[in-house]
Structure 1
Amino acid sequence: MTPPEQQTQQPGQYGPELPPDYPREYEADVVLRDGATAHLRPITPDDADLLVAFYARVSEQSKYYRFFAPYPQLSDRDVARFTQVDYHDRLALIVTVGNEMIGVGRYERTGRRTAEVAFLIEDAHQGRGLGQLFLEHLAQAARENGIARFIAEVLPDNRKMITVFTEAGYKVAREFEDGVIVVEFDIAPTDTSFGVMQAREQRSEAMSIARLISPASVAVIGASRREGTIGNALLRNLRDGGFPGRLYAVNTDTDAAEIEGVPAFPTIRDVDDTIDLAVVAVRAETVADVVLDCAAKGVRGLVVVSSGFAEIGDEGRKRQRYLVGLARSYGMRVIGPNALGVINTAPGVTLNATLSPLMPSRGRVAFFCQSGALGVPILADMVGRGLGLSSFVSAGNRADVSGNDLMQYWYGDEATEVVLLYLESLGNPRKFSRVARRLAGRKPVIALKSGRATQGVPLGQMVRRSQLPPATIDSMFRQSGLIGVDTTGELFDVAQLLAHQPLPKGRRVAIVSNSDALTLLALDTMAGCGLDVAGEPRNLSADATAEDFGAALGEVFADERVHSVVVIYTPPVQSNGVEVARVVAAAAAGSDKPVVSTFLASRSVPEALRVPDGEGGAARGSIPSFLNPQYAVGALAKATQYAEWRRRADSRIPDLPDVDTRAAEDFVAEFLQRHPAGDDLSDEDKQRLLSFYGIKVLPAFPVQSEDEAVARASELGFEVILKATAEQWRMRPDLADIWRHIHDEDDMRGAWDEMTRTFGVAADPGRAQFVVQKMAPPGVPVVISALEDVSFGPVVTFGLSGVATDLLGDRSYRMPPLTTRDAAEMVREVRAAPLLYGYRGTDPVDISAIEDLLHRVSRLTLDLEEVVKLDLRSVLVSAHGATVLDTAIRIAPNEKPRQDTPARRLT
């Protein structure tokens, strides 16, 4: 590879001018199979020399596989044809590392909806997953350009290329013609292809994190002899934390042979060894130079502790973007900048590359934290509780490595059983939800999100600002199976329980206590968080003995109706509770019922309740203690809710009849040709678009005068309504915007006279935008909406219709795609849901009809990101179905594509 110092252009810049139709949205940083990063982008005419140099490094066999004949070099005509594409019918994508091309993939349209696809990958980089990445990104671009099917011709002995197609998750058809295998497949995403993509994404991103947190060699760049400096603290903590690997100090201002007993060098290039991880603590303006040095050295990853980036404003944001782009272009991932650092307690690693001198004990809890300022006190709290860590990452400004990446790593990390997240922002909420849901299906994930009420984001974190209400975050956590908490104390309380005890099998809880006052607190907390009391609490006397506790606990653990146990012990004078603790531990040993305690007001795992893990820590089966019963029961309630989420019935994304996605996409494209800036849909267009997804709307007919209203009602056979649809009068509590039960001409004329007078529009009735509509069956009015949010992507909302719902914010939210369980929970979790189930003697409505509409809206908004707003703002649900009465839809160009797509990319 050409040395970084000979680089002639910055990453992401390809000559002085890009072609006018260059699709910048196709650019992406990607993670390869081995965890290294690279840059994928469309080819440009300025890439001619890059292509020629790349082709010269490709073996003769690979060239033969690509062109089916010896093809030693490219002619000038070839180079021009391969680099000059229209990005629509002919598209080529290249992958670069540094300033060298390592692969190229392209498609060429062969019919209205078909294209031929081919790849060529440098031999030294084959086996790194480039073929799959090219296929994913080419397929996504092709779909956007109206192509539905790929065709490829492959020589029979080119097994690698055949494998790329057959293992992509598409339904592949193969034929053998004239000594060549012809492969054909539709490129519409399927559950299988998306599942394959997610599995590859998880493996590659997990590998990229493993390269960062399990290094065999570390260099501290900016190491210093001066105590109190960041570089000195990092070096000391690495050394004193017991890192067994090779450690080096780098400081350009010294020619000393060692710093703090660690071998020292003026630059990382001078180190006569391979370096896996560089911990960077230099001035912000010099970090880019350090990155180039690290690239030349072949460093695999960076932890940037330096500040002075996005947190200081525009100049810092530019510096931060350049840092990340530069590092990724040379295959490196970045933790930070402005990070606290990384801890890994795994045997053989013992890495404390942070500014915290505290090295937690080894444990089963992993922790991702975005705040450097909170990182040190959080670690201190964990150490104080005796809660051991498997690994810890504080990402600071989270410019590259995020919680999504760490969750991908912890998914397969056998040392981690519980995951903690302290989040200040969500850079890619859709991917976060997807990855968290997968992880939560295997391990508990406890999350604390700051700034929910204020939508605040720290200055250093560059994220898209959501316009959604704070309740959306809580709904997303529930949908993904995350255990949401409100304080750091609660974060550790729940972790303390889940790290040591099994999950509850139900909501019934038994209490064994020697304090009436504390029992009452426990009962109040249980009632508030939905736990049930299993029988009467076992209230023992204040001076109850160990034998008394043993007898009560024996009954509790033998009772099949009991799912969890709360033990409260307040010692009498001159008692340390050791005998009681032994009895509690013995009774709980081997039980599959979780036990929590308030034992001597301790907030950790007391020695007497601890099952030793062989390293001085607390193994599974240890009984955690909390400061008071409220904390203990609160943690138990969170664990119970999570256990119910894990046990819930199989949930799937349903197949929907009467859906024509391709016709809907064509309609949207045609609409945007007529309205390039976007617009609200007319009634006719709304009916047409919704019909592609099997949603029928009861027609409403605009009328401008009393006579026209009578005529239209007569055509409909009367039994109609007259409705004012102007926005300023819809749903006002002081005005009736609908006149129902119009049976004949006299009724209509009376309704018209009364409504025009009430609204003050007798002289100009057009202001009210009156419509006439057939009466729908009586029922409960509900609202189903979807909004394309710049951060979250599509979000579906459900609630009952009315002013009270709007004032109280009584809505449920979910991110598509909706599973059957998601739709069911949306309907049931709004506070007004009893009105749907026969409240005060009314007939229950058809819940399945509501859920069907939710699924259809979910599918529509997931397929069509140009539908930026969709409101089924009046749906009347009866016992026999749902009738959609009124809708509003807006289509607009998608200026900021969704961040989570069927093609892998780092965001």
Structure 2
Amino acid sequence: MTTSDAVTSTPPPRHWEADVLLRDGKTAHIRPIRPEDAGLLVEFYARVSEESKYYRFFSPMPHLSDRDVKRFTQVDYVTRVALVLTSGDNMIAVGRYDLVEEGKAEVAFLVEDGHQGRGIGQLLLEHLAQAGRERGIERFIAEVLPDNHAMIHTFKDAGYRVASQYDEGVMELEFSIDPTDTAIGVMAQREHRAESASIERFFRPRSVAVIGASRRQDTIGQALVRHLVTGDFTGRVYAVNPSADAVSGMPSYKTVGEIPGEVDVAIVAVPAEAVQDVVLDCAAKGVHGLVVISSGFAETGEEGRVRQRRLVGLSRSYGLRLIGPNALGVINTDPEVSLNASLSSVMPPRGRAGFFCQSGALGSAILEKVNNRGLGISTFVSAGNRADVSGNDLLQYWLEDDATEVVLLYLESIGNPRKFSRITRRVSRKKPIIAVRSGRSTQGVPMGHAVRKIAAPSQAVDAMFRQSGVIQVDTLEEMFDVAQLLAHQPLPRGRRVAVVGNSDALGLLAADAATSVGLVVNKQVALGADAGAEDFEDALDAAIDDPEVDAVAAIYIPPLNTSGEDVANVLAAVGEQSDKPIVSTFLGAEGVPELLRVPDVAGSSAGRGSVPSYPAVEAAVRALARVVEYAVWLRTPDKGAADEELVDRQAARRVVNELLMHHPEGHDLTMPEQRELLAAYGIELWETRAVTTRKQALDAGKELGWDVVLKATAPHLRHRPDLAHVWRNIDGPADMSDAWRSLNELITEPETAGFVVQKNAPPGVPVGISSMEDPLFGPVLSFGIGGPLTELLGDRSFRIPPLAEHDAQDMVREIKASPILFGYRGSEIVDVTEIERLVRRVAQIQNDLPQVRALDLPLVLAGANGAAVLGSAIRIEPVIDPRSDWFVRRLSTPPGDTLPD
């Protein structure tokens, strides 16, 4: 172990500091150690047991000497790195690595005994490994006593391939810290369990304290107490009001600390300036989480943003999770809990949908709408300013929640798109997610949401939703339309629809609407205006039994003086037994009418098999089309690219790292450097010679063996269809001289044209493949046919790496100009397989190398027997925050936030 007394020389990167979530759902803070931590380290060490000290140092070491304290707290953050974990004002763990040879470092941890078993060792290992990767370290070694089983499991359970050997009674472990798929998968599972556990405590508290409870009617505090009591909450309710002895007939306490029993969740409804004192009171009491109803935070301006940052930092530093501020509250309709810890007077019926809403103002209206439609929900959160708990946390909880079968999201901003994409890809495979995203065109966010602007175009965000299987809809009404179908009916197996009804006019409208949204109407049954229940039953049974039908749209408009109850009974009975989805326009009703509901043994207001109704046939088939698209996505294998083993990632990383060592501010790669980087991913860049004189052009043509082109590469010329900037079929000195003279006469300011000489490529269709690294969004990939028309019309497809096997195929086919690649009007069909390979390769580069700020293959000529990459541009830059949430667990921190000291 290196034991030099090197003092701090290089400040640690800012992103090494973060709030983290422990295994039990409590928060803590991780950061680099500092020289001024000497006192904290001594106090921490004094609380550690003798056994833990022995396991760490292999000998009795009851106290740290001044020399030890100095050595442990003064590091250079390069060859010697130490991270500490704090909770409140205490240090509870420390981990470190020390370089032992180039590319290899020794790692060790010490965790306070009272906090062992909370997953702290794994967290420290993740963060130290990420720090090591950024400092060029490739392997960790650790010396562990054989009976220190907990530490041995920490290393072996991390997902790395660990080799071990014994030497003089000590077990030496060694492993590469390259973030393998296995290691990332292990991290994601731990993240899922911790975040799910933190949310479960909000939904299933044994006791709730209302801080700011009031005796006065028409106050927020009074409403919160009333809704908890009248909602039949099965736990204990405590009222906290320093000025009252009783609230709503129950005793009131001056502070949370005075409450005799434990408190799981505190609902806070006090003035914004008093919330900080409440946090300290709740932390001392051991409260798990806060639901802050109080307003006066980031939604009010800069002063409120500062107050909100302090609130989040203080809450997390003491281990508390926070919903809000400016929140509507939390609801759980499970009769075993029956929690209405919200401002909504409506306790919605039990149902299958979990709902996350960022808007407190819309929350009450949404719950009213859910109630009127008979949809029902399992759990509901209105997070207000979303300062801490976000939709990502709720998705982690709902993934394993048996009571939730459909997830509904109303999003006003996405604080961490990378994480959202990663989680939704997993959740959508198990449960459908329906999302409404406001600000979709402008990418604007409400004032209270402190998030960084996404540089990627809005089409890329839409692509991320599709790629993740999220059903993105335009309005709340459409969200409920789709939700009531998914909550009550089975998924369709295909796009084929039968329309059965007693109105010819509405039947034609349904058929037209279905065709317009990509459904295929291959069975249309007109029963006539006087059709009765028996007629409907026969027609519906025949449609469902038809192997050429995947879903049924039933239309019933009753004749005069007819209730339609008999037809409703038929629809409900058929819907309950059918393995194909049924949508209806029944009496023009909206939602799941009482007559069409099937009893649910789980206690929901409408069970599986209930038939949803829509007031308009267009809404019915539009909802069905959304569900069909999800069913198609669900059946598509989520496999990675099949040829990844042909990629030399190590060579690519070496190229990028060596270039950044010489160009720490960033670098535009030269042509030879681009060729080397692209070659590591199996992309052959055609040789290009930059020329500025006729003689250089002649020499380049001769060296390349003639049959060359001379072209201008300046952007202002490449994208001008009215200018000829390429001279082809140059096969000798005379041709080159003519080409040079003609292009120089044609082009204004030819000295800025960026002339190059290149071998003549076979004819083909020009396509462009580009990627970029968005600081917030991460890697983004785009594809389109080359030329200015593509840019003018925005005809490009987008995806978010990593790509599944089918993603490249979809990218090539979904652009409007794709027929050009497939023999449009008798033209030659190009080698689409090679285009897809290049798309996958560019995606891999961007996914593997966050240092690649932008990569552009602006001209790829795709022919019948391959594709020639004729041009490229690559920009690399040092990474400030290397997608650290992909390789380590951390809670998001909005821009400008100041983490606690």
TM-score (norm 2): 0.96
Letter in 1 for 2:51: Q
Q: Aligned equivalents of 2:820 and 2:369: distance in 1?
A: 46
CA apart distance, 1:344? 0.8
Structure 1 616/834 Cα, relative in aligned 2: closer, same or farther at 3 Å?
Answer: closer
Aligned pairs, number: 885
Greater shift, 650-659 or 811-820, is seen at: 650-659
Structure 1 347/655 Cα, relative in aligned 2: closer, same or farther at 3 Å?
Answer: farther
Structure 1 560/613 Cα, relative in aligned 2: closer, same or farther at 3 Å?
Answer: same
Name the residue aligned to 2:281: 293
Name the residue aligned to 1:6: none
Where do 4+ consecutive residues of structure 1 move more than 6 Å?
none
- Note the alpha carbon deviations across 1:368-415, whole angstroms, 9 max, x for none: 001111111111110110111100001111110000000000000011
Unaligned runs of 5+ in 2: 1-6, 893-901
Letter in 1 for 2:57: F
- Note the alpha carbon deviations across 1:463-513, whole angstroms, 9 max, x for none: 110122211121011100001100000000000000000000111111101
Greater shift, 626-635 or 171-180, is seen at: 171-180
Q: Aligned equivalents of 1:422 and 1:409: distance in 2?
A: 17
Name the residue aligned to 1:387: 375
Q: Aligned equivalents of 1:551 and 1:662: distance in 2?
A: 66
Q: Aligned equivalents of 1:231 and 1:52: distance in 2?
A: 45
2:266 is the alignment partner of 1:281: no
Whether contact under 8 Å (1:107, 1:118) holds in the other structure is yes
2:237 is the alignment partner of 1:250: no
Tell me which of 437, 460, 485 is aligned to 2:448: 460
Q: Aligned equivalents of 1:650 and 1:270: distance in 2?
A: 54
Letter in 2 for 1:609: L
Name the residue aligned to 1:867: 852
Tell me which of 491, 496, 500 is aligned to 1:512: 500
**1:724-739 matches, cutoff 5 A:** 724-739=712-727
Tell me which of 555, 577, 592 is aligned to 1:590: 577
**1:16-165 matches, cutoff 5 A:** 21-165=11-155
Letter in 2 for 1:814: R
CA apart distance, 1:667? 3.0
- Note the alpha carbon deviations across 1:436-456, whole angstroms, 9 max, x for none: 110000001001111010111
2:556 is the alignment partner of 1:569: yes
Name the residue aligned to 1:426: 414
Whether contact under 8 Å (2:107, 2:141) holds in the other structure is yes
Name the residue aligned to 1:207: 197
- Note the alpha carbon deviations across 1:186-205, whole angstroms, 9 max, x for none: 11011111111111110110
Letter in 2 for 1:85: V
Whether contact under 8 Å (2:503, 2:526) holds in the other structure is yes
Whether contact under 8 Å (1:19, 1:44) holds in the other structure is no
Tell me which of 425, 432, 450 is aligned to 1:437: 425
Letter in 2 for 1:156: P
Tell me which of 348, 355, 367 is aligned to 2:343: 355
CA apart distance, 1:897? 4.3
- Note the alpha carbon deviations across 1:217-264, whole angstroms, 9 max, x for none: 111111112222222222221122111211111123x1x321112321
Name the residue aligned to 1:185: 175
**1:227-242 matches, cutoff 5 A:** 227-242=217-232
2:474 is the alignment partner of 1:489: no
Tell me which of 741, 763, 786 is aligned to 1:753: 741
Structure 1 895/902 Cα, relative in aligned 2: closer, same or farther at 3 Å?
Answer: closer
Name the residue aligned to 2:785: 800
Is the partner of 2:611 in helix, strand or coil? coil
Tell me which of 420, 434, 437 is aligned to 1:446: 434
Q: Aligned equivalents of 2:696 and 2:136: distance in 1?
A: 44
Is the partner of 2:59 in helix, strand or coil? coil
CA apart distance, 1:638? 0.7
**1:827-906 matches, cutoff 5 A:** 827-898=812-883, 900-906=885-891
Name the residue aligned to 1:776: 761
Letter in 2 for 1:177: D
Name the residue aligned to 2:592: 605
Whether contact under 8 Å (2:575, 2:610) holds in the other structure is no
Q: Aligned equivalents of 1:741 and 1:794: distance in 2?
A: 39
Letter in 2 for 1:583: V
Whether contact under 8 Å (2:10, 2:76) holds in the other structure is no
Whether contact under 8 Å (2:351, 2:604) holds in the other structure is no
CA apart distance, 1:650? 4.3
Unaligned runs of 5+ in 1: 1-16
Name the residue aligned to 1:3: none
Q: Aligned equivalents of 1:445 and 1:541: distance in 2?
A: 38
CA apart distance, 1:658? 4.7
- When the two chains are superposed, the root-mean-square deviation of aligned CA atoms in Å is 1.6
Structure 1 660/652 Cα, relative in aligned 2: closer, same or farther at 3 Å?
Answer: closer
Is the partner of 1:110 in helix, strand or coil? strand
- Note the alpha carbon deviations across 1:852-871, whole angstroms, 9 max, x for none: 22222222222222211111
Greater shift, 233-242 or 215-224, is seen at: 233-242
TM-score (norm 1): 0.96
Letter in 1 for 2:744: T
Report sequence identity in percent.
Answer: 58
- Note the alpha carbon deviations across 1:720-777, whole angstroms, 9 max, x for none: 111111122112111122222223333322322222222134xxx3221111100112
CA apart distance, 1:694? 2.5
Q: Aligned equivalents of 2:862 and 2:214: distance in 1?
A: 71
Q: Aligned equivalents of 2:512 and 2:533: distance in 1?
A: 27
CA apart distance, 1:806? 0.6
Structure 1 23/280 Cα, relative in aligned 2: closer, same or farther at 3 Å?
Answer: same
Q: Aligned equivalents of 1:780 and 1:303: distance in 2?
A: 58
Tell me which of 774, 799, 808 is aligned to 1:823: 808
Q: Aligned equivalents of 2:775 and 2:12: distance in 1?
A: 23
CA apart distance, 1:165? 1.1
Name the residue aligned to 2:607: 619
Q: Aligned equivalents of 1:98 and 1:461: distance in 2?
A: 26
Greater shift, 882-891 or 394-403, is seen at: 882-891
Name the residue aligned to 2:3: none
2:357 is the alignment partner of 1:369: yes
Letter in 2 for 1:310: A
